[in-house]
Amino acid sequence: MSTVEIKNLHKSFGRLEVLKGIDFTVDSGQVVCVIGPSGSGKSTLLRCVNLLEQPTSGQVFVDGVELTDPDVDIDAARRRIGMVFQQFNLFSHLTVLRNVTIAQERVLKRSRAEAERIARENLAKVGVAEKADAYPAQLSGGQQQRVAIARALAMNPSLMLFDEPTSALDPELVGDVLTVMRRLAEDGMTMLVVTHEMSFAREVADRVVFMDGGVIVEDGPPKQVIGAPQHERTRTFLRRVLDPTHAD
């Protein structure tokens, strides 16, 4: 069963066509990594999945619900989709615990006690349980990102979207966040990940999608797309990413 199904998706910003007819699925329990150069449409694709960006045309289904249906209850549909951004988007004036409980209480109508129990479970899962009473400014970037992941998990999503979750982190902190994401993958979470971390894509992804110019150029298992790409554009991109000193 497909958790995500995208049909003939187009997205334009004025005269600029960013997505040019994307057809794409993510099966339940799959980890799919989307790679490609800046401006290729990766993040726009991700944001169209939960309608943070309204597609120009095409259809998006999540768990069998068409999010692009004008009559859909989009707030209800989004409750099953967790999203982790490049920037952590935590409320600076709230403690870590409160950052993870507030949406549970307001959106899912959980009691304060239940929300705090679930928050603490998820903070422990991502390795920052001891930071529950701290404020975001007292945390490292990696810790803030792990809190953001815990906040998304606390809503019990069936799908997690990650938009370059390590790009704003110091190199020494990247590993902690990727370790958390690996554990989520091992636990069977369905994940759609826009990333430049080729080692993560190679080791964790079930599929790797290479995008360029608003289209999917290549889609397959990591050993094919990263290890033995079929398209010259994919090969050129990977040479530059895996060997930055390489000159064509």
Q: Which tens digits make up the pLDDT trace of 129-162?
A: 999 999 999 999 999 999 999 999 999 999 999 9
Average pLDDT over residues 110-116: 97
Least confident of 42-46, 139-143, 188-192, 243-247: 243-247
- What's the average model confidence in pLDDT over 169-183? 89
Mean pLDDT of 123-130: 95
Helices (H) and strands (E) counted in the chain, each on its own, are 9, 10
Residue 246 has pLDDT above 70, yes or no: no
pLDDT at residue 173 tops 90? no
pLDDT band at 1 (very low <50, low <70, confident <90, very high): confident
pLDDT reported for residue 23: 96
Distances (CA, A) of 230 to 116, 195, 217: 49, 20, 9
pLDDT at 201: 94
DSSP annotation string for 66-133: ETTSTTS-HHHHHTTEEEE-SS----TTS-HHHHHHHHHHHHS---HHHHHHHHHHHHHHTT-GGGTT
Dihedral of CA 170/173/177/183: which sign? positive
> In this structure, what DSSP letter does residue 157 have?
-
pLDDT mean across residues, the chain: 93
- The pLDDT-based confidence of 98 (bands split at 50, 70, 90) is very high
* pLDDT score, position 245: 65
Question: Does position 12 have pLDDT exceeding 60, yes or no?
Answer: yes
pLDDT band at 100 (very low <50, low <70, confident <90, very high): very high
Q: How confident is the model at residue 172 (pLDDT cuts 50, 70, 90)?
A: confident
pLDDT value at residue 20: 97
User: pLDDT at residue 248 above 80?
Assistant: no
The per-residue pLDDT for 59 is: 97
* Percent of the chain surpassing pLDDT 70: 98
Specify the pLDDT at position 247. Answer: 56
